Structure 1
């Protein structure tokens, strides 16, 4: 077939039924360019594997985006996944999500715990419950995928505790969680490969220094997000040093490793909210130009490949912690202040002071609210008692009034009845006696009076007196005995 076709092209020329060669070349070049661009922006695929059966993994942000893909891949490999979510485990969406994840992975060891990263008290409650166990609960991995971002042009938003929401969710909550879980991580056996995987973003490169004073009027969503990611990276390196400084009772080295991961730009709900600026018009434009988002942004599945590499690569346990993984490769950080111990010390101390101050304030508010609640409950209880007493008094009053009314009515009708009865009493006295008591007043059936004999036979029973027949050898005319 190719030889006759080429011979026809040589002798007969270009056939008319084929498209124009220049047009064919143009379309082929465009298709090849799109394919290569998509292949390049898609990133590398994870090739590492690891046995995850029986391993306990805590995952934040595991219900959407990259976190959802990571949770799915870990569950598919047999890990026991604990999803830390803002919603309570009884929420209808979360129940359906967990059931669906169990069905798709064939793994029933998937659970959900409520941890609101915008609330330090919620973080402390969960972490305290986790470590308050003897012996210590098994913990193999912590994957912190949860993050938030205010859309461009948005205003500064604070949590109920008065902390800026981006700083709170992206950095401070993770700092608080890992700080409380530190004893549980250090208590794991030596042969257990414990990893703390912390996703970050390349926006940290453009962040201002952490010790720089920035006024509130200069606050922008981009600045807040990049600063929170830089603080998270500085804390991750400092936390690895904190774990390495622990002296185990068995004098063996610490095997827990902190791993930073840059998954790249992906088509996640957070990125969609960022590109659409949180508006309906922006969402419409995003849908119209979705082909560009598809071409230049990774899918959540491809963005999660670097996280899976950080989770499963065996060589990471033999190298110092705090490494940065990008495109399934170990890379160096782009900023030197990430390893600055002075900056890390100031950040750690300021974060501790902020958490302590906020928790004290919230503890006072909770105690005040509890006291007010108890006061309201006591007042409601007293009001219920007063209402019950009033209802009883009213019922008694109504009953007395009704009795008085019946008595008054009976006294008014009594003379008429008595007069009528007295008129016929003399004529029908004999008839009335025999009519009212036809049996008991006849001499034939009247029984002799009862006699109580001394002894056990005279004792009454619990529910009243009962009749007994006369004793043997006693005259039956004495009648029955009690």
Structure 2
């Protein structure tokens, strides 16, 4: 009976003459969806005893990252803009601990829109007993900011301030926590991952702009171009951060085992620092990108019912052509799981000869059989692969930089000439300067230096506009332990 009804319905709505067409259409949709979801990482890594700091951990993408890291045993510190005893934070942390069977999930309060809150957290971390960090994952900048005027009551200036605050938060946390990373043992594999939005391509084809004020002042710029400039600026900063790390004295991996007479040495052409900074573009996500673009989140104070309706109507297309959070995080997991030359050497024990006596010999990374793919320091990753990106530097910026270098060299020459007498008395004239090589990637050293300097200037303005609030009378602090099922302070 049931089969008969089903056959009758099928023959009525799907005539046999269209079976081939229907099958081809279904196959096409499945292929398009598989292509849109992107590659999945083929790597895996045990993260037990690894401490990972995660920002934006309570966004859709951040929660998916949080779950995947917890399933692999990572010790996670998720920064929350809300107090750690807030119901949604405690419930989520308790749920993740239960479902992943990992009690090492903690929440810490840090308002990324407040420089004083960021400094407070970093100070607490740097003065605490446990200062180990194996990775910092900045996931708060991936969420799209800005909606068309008919879907949002916010102005473009307010959106731009939120963009700038997110970028400055990443810069401030990176620079404040960098001392703790630099004093870590050299065999420790440390990674800084900056997750950016996918619209960097919208700004890559235009002359590179580093200034925050310019992006705010030009009202005619589209939302995608503003988002692209924010993303591209973060990519250039991350690449320059790697240049700074590489310019520091080269760290060599110590002997892997007691009695080993081979000294592992990583070739500078492969990796110069045990700290690797990379950018990751997860792609266009259905929740973090499209939902935010349409302002469809009614939990937000500015949520739009019209945006939610459009988002609902577009679901069939969004399910095919945009990424789910589980697909979007694949590139993030890929850069966390990929091996580095330092990691390979630290796990390899090789002796120069079989004899008990003999000189120690260096073991170059180039002499080892490396995996097919290793993590590229400073690179941009998308769809589990490194992306080549051309950044155009305007000629006027190049000319200004050239003039500034000539002026600085002339000033240095005059200073050295005047101080010859003091030099004879044993007074050092030249200060030690870190020589940062210009590799030409992502705009080269010039673009990276300009972005870094612009961040420093904008940070001063940001802190001036958001002074630290007067301390409130101290209240009894609430520390929720793992047994209580909520977030907790681990310092």
Class of the TM-score when normalised by the shorter of the 2 chains: 0.5 to 0.7
Cα distance, 1:325 vs. partner? 1.6
User: Are residues 1:302 and 2:327 paired?
Assistant: yes
2:165 equivalent among 168, 173, 179:
168
Query: What is the aligned partner in structure 1 of residue 282 from structure 2?
Result: 263
Give CA deviations for 1:388-433 in whole Å, capped at 9, x if unaligned: xxxxxxxxxxxxxxxxxxxxxxxxxxxxxxxxxxxxxxxxxxxxxx
Contact 1:205 1:334 in 2 (8 A): no
Judge conservation of contact 1:167–1:225 (CA < 8 Å) in 2.
no
Change (3 A) 1:267 1:281: same
Q: Structure 1's 20 and 290: CA in aligned 2 closer, same or farther, altered over 3 A?
A: closer
Q: Which residue in the other structure is 2:246 paired with?
A: 244
User: Cα 1:85–1:25, aligned 2, differ >3 Å: closer, same or farther?
Assistant: same
Matches within 5 A, 1:78-477: 78-133=73-128, 137-147=131-141, 148=143, 149-153=145-149, 154-158=154-158, 164-169=161-166, 171-207=167-203, 209-211=208-210, 213=214, 215-247=217-249, 254-276=273-295, 278-315=303-340, 320-335=376-391, 338-360=442-464, 362-363=466-467, 366=469
Q: Deviations over 1:216-237 (max 9, x none)?
A: 4335533332211111011001
**1:288 Cα deviation from its structure 2 partner:** 2.1
TM-score (norm 1): 0.67
Relative to structure 1, is the Cα distance of residues 17 and 246 closer, same or farther in structure 2, using a 3 angstrom cutoff? Answer: closer
Deviation sequence 1:10-30 (CA, Å, 0-9, x none): xxxxxx999754211111111
- Seen in structure 2, the aligned counterparts of structure 1 residues 216 and 111 have a Cα distance that, compared at 3 Å, is same
Measured after TM superposition, the shift of residue 182 of structure 1 is 0.7
Q: Please report how far the alpha carbon of residue 57 of structure 1 lies from its aligned counterpart in structure 2 after TM superposition.
A: 0.3
Q: Secondary structure at the match of 2:77?
A: strand
Asked if the contact 1:66/1:300 (under 8 Å) is kept, the reply is: yes
Task: Say which SS state the counterpart of residue 333 (structure 1) adopts.
Answer: coil
C-alpha offsets along residues 307-345 of structure 1, whole Å, 9 cap, x if unaligned? 111111114766551112221122212435533322222
Structure 1 residue 105: Cα displacement:
0.4
Q: Indicate conservation of the 8 Å contact 1:186/1:254, yes or no.
A: no
Which one has more relative contact order, counting CA pairs under 8 Å at least 6 apart? 2
Unmatched segments (≥5 aa) in structure 1:
1-15, 375-482
Say whether the 8 Å CA contact 1:237–1:339 is kept in structure 2.
Answer: no
Q: Is the 8 A contact 1:205 1:335 kept in 2?
A: no
Change (3 A) 1:18 1:113: closer
Superposition deviation, residue 104 in structure 1: 0.8
1:76 equivalent to 2:180? Answer: no
Q: Tell which deviates more after alignment, 64-73 or 350-359.
A: 350-359
Q: Deviations over 1:176-199 (max 9, x none)?
A: 110101111111211111011111
1:63 is aligned to: 58
Partner of 2:175: helix, strand, or coil? Answer: helix
Distance in 2, Cα, partners of 1:76 & 1:165? 32
Classify 1:218/1:17 alpha carbon distance in 2 versus 1 (closer, same or farther; 3 Å): closer
- Between the aligned partners of 1:346 and 1:18, the Cα distance in structure 2 is 63
Deviations 1:49-87 (A, max 9, x none): 111000000111111222211111111000001101111
Partners of 2:376 and 2:251 in 1: how far apart?
A: 21
- Are the counterparts in 1 of residues 61 and 288 from structure 2 also a CA contact under 8 Å? no
How far apart are residue 43 of structure 1 and its match? 1.2
- Would the aligned equivalents of 1:48 and 1:309 in 2 still touch at CA under 8 Å? yes
SS in structure 1 of the partner of residue 455 of structure 2: helix
Q: Which string of whole-angstrom CA distances, capped at 9 and with x for unpartnered residues, describes residues 370-391 of structure 1?
A: 6xx89xxxxxxxxxxxxxxxxx
SS at match of 1:259: strand
Equivalent pair of 1:42/1:302 in contact (CA under 8 Å): yes
Partner of 2:39: 44
Contact 2:335–2:375 (Cα < 8 Å) also in 1: no
Q: CA RMSD in A?
A: 2.8
Rounded to whole Å, the distance in 2 between the matches of 1:45 and 1:91 is: 35
SS of 1:325 mapped into structure 2: strand
Q: Distance in 2 between matches of 1:257 and 1:117?
A: 23
Cα gap change, 1:199 to 1:362, in 2 (>3 Å) = closer
Q: Looking at secondary structure, tell me which structure has more helix per residue.
A: 1
Contact 1:197 1:259 in 2 (8 A): yes
Scaled by the length of structure 2, what TM-score is found? 0.66
Q: Which runs of 5+ in 2 are unaligned?
A: 1-10, 255-271, 297-302, 343-373, 394-441, 474-491
Conserved 8 A contact 2:200-2:229: yes
